[in-house]
Amino acid sequence: MVHYMPWFESQPYSGPPWGWHWTMGNSSINPNIINTNGEREIAAWYYPMIGPYDSADPAVLEYHVLLMKLAGIDGVIVDWYGIDDFDDYILIKQRTADLFNYTRKAGLKFSLCYEDATIQNEINGGFITAANATNHAQQAMLYAQTNYFTDPSYLHWNNMPVLLNFGPQYFKNNAQWVSIFSVLNATNQPAFFTEDNRLSPVGQGAFDWPPMSLSQTNKINGEGVLTDYALQSYLSSFEQKAAAWPAFVSTAFPRFHDYYAQAGIQPSDGYRDDENGTNLSETLSRAMTNASAIVQIATWNDFGEGTIVEPTVDGSEPTTEYGYADLGMIQDLRRLYLDAGFSYHTNDLTLALRLFNLRELYLYGTTNLYFNATNGSYNL
């Protein structure tokens, strides 16, 4: 499963303004400015191969799920903010539904990762009160039950719909989640996974996540760097805890290079080098060979934190930035550990880009500049 962010808004598709996740709210970052390489300004170190896009664009959704299918990914875990018309939560709700329409068509599984930090944000913003916070979360779960948990494509473990939670950050004890889940049918009590530690007994286990809080200051350049030792110690400690749980989710990631400091919203969370693909190869191999019930790749498209496996380009060379390298590695490791007969290879991934550009050109009457990895040129 690959962790997916459904929150991008692009001006060419949705109209002005550009969404927060392409600018991080920094007025000096203007995606309407296009440089000599044909790239728009965005709040990210890496540039999507199809350019900054809108998560509601049907051509984008088709492109993403086709790439996942060709890469050997079984499904998506979507970062989900609930159902409220607060901030951009309602937009994320709708774009999540849009994405699931396409994962169904592609035969991919899907699941939700619920952000209960949204509850505190809504309290702070005066949208809800602390007194009705639990009821509010219950309504979100009822929506998930009606629209997702009962869908045949929804990911299940041990006949229970899989639900992840970042944290928990607001509802921090077992009794609160028992109350939240009490409104669900007995057949839809979730297989509940929280971050790093199991919330027992309501949770089946936990998932690990890139441990950037363990970053150490680099003596040469002064930035926080996640070292090999810190990463391996974290993964070993997590797996030791997880051995006693009913199940756990093991996470792999390619790199970490956030844009927070550059956008002026907070200090950087740290840095983890790509190491020429070694970081993804080692973390994914480990996840695919331990006792985890589910493997999660973090992430498909978190451009703000630089953890993407979605194809990217760099127009300044001109060469591919990471191109299809991450997805090609996923193909190879699937073949090695799960399915020796998996037939797709890196060259097949270009089919998704060809289809996307034809959709944009003939269906919407627009064109996009993209990098042609076959001949090393840029094409419309």
**Amino acid 366: pLDDT:** 54
Structure tokens at 361: 């050109």
Q: Is the peptide bond before 31 cis (omega within 30 degrees of 0)?
A: no
- Provide the pLDDT for residue 361: 81
Query: Any idea where the domains of the chain sit in the sequence?
Result: 2-379
The reported pLDDT for the residue numbered 341 is 97
What are the Cα distances from residue 229, in Å, to 5, 249, 272?
29, 21, 12
pLDDT at 318: 41
Positions of the chain with pLDDT under 70: 219-222, 314-320, 363-380
The CATH class of the 2-379 domain is: alpha beta
Q: Give the pTM.
A: 0.93
For 164-231, give the DSSP string. EES--SS--SHHHHHHHHTTS-GGG--EEEEESS--TTT-SEEE----GGG-EE-TTT--EE--HHHH
Q: Are 290 and 236 in contact (CB under 8 A)?
A: no
Residue 377: what pLDDT?
Answer: 41
Extract the runs of DSSP E, i.e. beta strands, from the chain.
2-4, 47-48, 75-80, 109-114, 156-157, 160-165, 191-195, 205-207, 216-217, 224-225, 249-252, 256-257, 271-272, 294-297, 312-314, 319-323, 370-372, 377-379
User: What strand order describes the sheet that includes 312-314?
Assistant: 47-48, 312-314, 319-323
Q: How far apart are CA 197 and CA 204, in angstroms?
A: 10
Alpha carbon distance, N-terminus to C-terminus of the chain: 32
Q: Which of these, 357, 374, 375, 379, lies nearest to 366 by C-alpha position? A: 357
